[in-house]
Structure 1
Amino acid sequence: MADLNSLNTALSLKLQHQLYDEALGLIQHLNYADQARLIQQFSFPQQIELLSRMEHQGLVFEFYPFHLQKELIEYFPLNLQIDVLEDMHSDDATDLYKSLPQTEQELLYPQLDSSTQQHLRTLAGYAEESAGAIMSSDYVSLAPELTMQQAIDALRLQPHDRETLYLIYITNNAQQLIGVISLRQILQAPLDATIHQVMTQELVVGNVHEDQESIAKKLSEYDFMALPIIDEHGTLVGIVTYDDAMDVVQAETTEDFLKASAVQVEPGMSLKTAPILRLYQKRVFWLVILVFGSLLSGLGIAYYEDVIATHIVLVFFLPLLVGSGGNAGSQSATLMVRALAIGDVTAKDWFKLMGRESLVALCLGGTMALAVSILGYFRGDALVALVLALSMLGIVLLGCLIGMSLPFILNKLKLDPASASAPLVTSICDATGVVVYLMIASQILDF
């Protein structure tokens, strides 16, 4: 990092004097990601000037945040837009191309080379959230009858933009996937051995219409660097690399976090650059809904207002008790949403987990009941302490069961379990907690 900081200073001086070639010489030895990190700190005109002078500007541009890619490419001259899209990997180029206005797409497309046009035409047609939408067609395939020496010679001629040379896919004359071989196997096998003799024929593949999350899970489960993607005829149509799968996981995790906070999701939205009005629109809906949900707590208080008026000490402990139920419910919901997301539990485990969660909730509630009863005794008397203890036990138990069950219910209804957000669980637990607390108090204190 210290080296990057010093390079940044030297780069700034070069750019101030418009010494672009010398500035480029300072960073061209760096990793593409570091080049992108350094360049994007400068003004758009300076970035464009540097990118236009690079040999592989597309590979550098891939490491820009996507929201910045979309913003900056609008300022590119047409020839730089063409160079960047043709140099980028096919999946990244497709995502960026699809983000452009329709008029710019129509102007740009005829200027691209035939290979890039084919990639865009093919990849842009797949549904969002499918494997086809994130796969790359920049893979290496070889024929099974080649010898190891012929395979090595063929690999030397591969373009620089291939996603990976570590895994080579073997296809027949109909482009159907029949095997896979690693670069290590090619280098270590006898030079006169054929690919068919060495390749692995037990394949793990993804379908082009398969959900992105499923593809990411397969890559993680088998610890692959890339997963071949086939269509319904077994034809190899692309690969999903590990870094693309991690992007999917990151996006899904971000989406779950946003839903868990009752924020509507918008792919690619940046908190730093999103307009104030857009942030307001994404947050206001659920907050207004939850305001009306909180009225249930008010109705419960109104129903037992005589009990509260007679025993005013109950008001002191009301926030403590209902807050504890909401906290316990949120914990349970978070654990369950995560367990469902990673496949650790399924809907059929609900009854078993109900029993386990009940035992955990009773232990948690019992510990918290003991603590709050001591406060109740000194603030009120023994009956108040009893009310608090029983209420805490019941509220925590109820909160945990609500928090655990809500994700299961949503999952059963084919809805996203992440919608069992902390604010939603808290609102439900608050309302039920008020009723439980004041009902127990009315039965014991007014007996």
Structure 2
Amino acid sequence: MNESSLVARGDATAIARILANDHVADIVEALNREPREIATELLCEVPFERLVEIFDQPELDGASELVEALPRVKAGRLLAAMSVDRAADISRHLAEPARSELLDGLAPPLRATLLTILGYPEGSAASIMTTEYVSVPSDWTVGRTLDHIRKVERTRQTVYAIYVVDPRTHVLVRSTGLRRLITGEPDDPIMAIAPDRLPVTVSPLTDREKVAHLISKYDLLAVPVVENGKILGIVTVDDIIDTMIEETTQDVHRFGGMEALEEPYMKMSFLAMIQKRAGWLCALFISEMLTANAMQSYEGELEKAVVLTLFIPLIMSSGGNSGSQATSLVIRALALREIGLGDWWRVALRELPAGLVLGSILGVVGVCRITLWQYLGLYDYGPHWQLIAATVGAALIGIVTFGSLSGSMLPFALKRIGFDPASASAPFVATLVDVTGLVIYFSVALVILRGTLL
């Protein structure tokens, strides 16, 4: 019997007991499949310790709405018990007056911490940091540090990174890992076993994508967020993975030509889905009208050489595909910081010959196709079929080259004026290349077919 039918029969307590014995990740997955009302009913019956574990999972959909649905006292206890960074993330998305009521009910130190984190812009390092980290004075020994870790382990998000601070100024001076600590002698000074170099740090306003890059580059478990030399908190690798999954999802949505979804696909209302997609589709449709304008400009040529219309879909799709390829490569390279804004000319110098080669390959294929069809009798392109084949081949070279070059440059242009490069989505690149592709195609046709078909 499925859980929904059990809940309908008033057996939420029994299901909650079953869920309490499952792995927390499996519980979250099961709750995400349930309607919001049923999920809330189940959560009200789950033991409090298990409830904290569930809400500590970033994968829980609509966590802020579920918190709002819980009794205020229970919701307040829940925020106080979960990890600080997760509590801040949930609080950020709470609606008023629930947010103010819950924050006001917290202990003053925790409330001050959450308000500090919430004060930083979303997407910054400080907005996803946790203050639950291990730090010790630089005059401590290895043995004393290990004793301290044993005492605070349950209240810290990670104990694998230990930060050493000046005992007087509290300035961060060193960092070390738990492996180095447990291999040291108890009487060794902590500074003796810590690597003799300054830790890799970020400022509070550092973009989370740069934080992810640093964690990947230096193979870190966490990176400290530092202001004026003092550590404010740390961003752990699991937190950055969660945020990057969210960021990547948004980029994929934008790249597909729509607004990013804030909710899972199956949980989003029909009206909200239409709102997210309609605006972009209308914008793309209006921009595609330029294609009709371009064809109207060559109406006379089309009347004289109707055979040219057979290759319009081929021409348009080839240019759009090459532009989309170049755009995808450049956007990903920008995201991974393999290239920067100053590298635009290097990218152009790579894409220009690449477009010529790719266009030549497609041009040869196009010419071979026309020739084969003509000789096999599958279609008669007329007495000037060789010129038509030359027109298609030359046009493909020009269009694919233009598509590759424009598709690679558009992300740089958008990033320069402050827009997300992912907005240079494949549909917009395709629209741009469709219009210019027609102009290139008919311009080549006028040159090659003048005096014969035109």
Q: TM-score, normalised by structure 2?
A: 0.89
AA at the equivalent of 1:336: V
> 49, 52, 56: which is aligned to 2:44?
49
Match of 1:395, SS state, is: helix
Residue 265 of structure 1 pairs with residue 260 of structure 2 = yes
Residue 397 (structure 2) aligns with: 393
Residue 222 of structure 1 pairs with residue 226 of structure 2 = no
Residue 388 (structure 2) aligns with: 384
Alpha-carbon distance in 2 for matches of 1:333, 1:303: 29
Residue 192 (structure 1) aligns with: 187
Residue 110 of structure 1 pairs with residue 114 of structure 2 = no
Match of 1:256, SS state, is: helix
What is the RMSD computed on CA atoms of the aligned residues? 2.5
AA at the equivalent of 1:189: G
AA at the equivalent of 2:331: V
Structure 2 unpaired stretches of 5+: none
| Higher alpha-carbon deviation: 26-35 or 202-211 | 26-35
AA at the equivalent of 1:414: G
> 312, 315, 318: which is aligned to 1:318?
312
Shift in alpha-carbon separation, 1:18–1:423, aligned structure 2, 3 A: closer
Shift in alpha-carbon separation, 1:390–1:110, aligned structure 2, 3 A: closer
> 30, 37, 50: which is aligned to 2:29?
37
Residue 269 (structure 2) aligns with: 275
Alpha-carbon distance in 2 for matches of 1:17, 1:414: 53
Deviations 1:339-397 (A, max 9, x none): 11211122333333323222222221112112212333424111111111111111111
* Cα distance, 1:228 vs structure 2: 0.8
Shift in alpha-carbon separation, 1:161–1:260, aligned structure 2, 3 A: same
* Cα distance, 1:39 vs structure 2: 5.2
Shift in alpha-carbon separation, 1:22–1:297, aligned structure 2, 3 A: closer
Residue 100 (structure 1) aligns with: 94
Report if the CA contact (8 A) 1:59-1:87 is conserved: no
Residue 360 of structure 1 pairs with residue 354 of structure 2 = yes
Corresponding residue pairs, total: 436
Alpha-carbon distance in 2 for matches of 1:373, 1:177: 67
AA at the equivalent of 1:433: G
Residue 443 (structure 1) aligns with: 447
Structure 1 unpaired stretches of 5+: 1-7
AA at the equivalent of 2:131: S
Identity fraction in percent: 29
Deviations 1:387-414 (A, max 9, x none): 1111111111111111112112222333
Alpha-carbon distance in 1 for matches of 2:254, 2:13: 45
Correspondence list, 1:36-435, <5 A: 36-38=28-30, 43-44=38-39, 46-51=41-46, 53-63=47-57, 65-158=59-152, 160-172=154-166, 173-200=168-195, 201-231=197-227, 233-265=228-260, 268-377=262-371, 378=374, 379=379, 380=381, 381-435=385-439
AA at the equivalent of 1:252: E
Alpha-carbon distance in 2 for matches of 1:27, 1:322: 54
Shift in alpha-carbon separation, 1:265–1:11, aligned structure 2, 3 A: closer
Match of 1:158, SS state, is: helix
* Cα distance, 1:319 vs structure 2: 0.9
* Cα distance, 1:69 vs structure 2: 0.9
Alpha-carbon distance in 1 for matches of 2:218, 2:71: 43
* Cα distance, 1:66 vs structure 2: 4.9
* Cα distance, 1:22 vs structure 2: 9.3
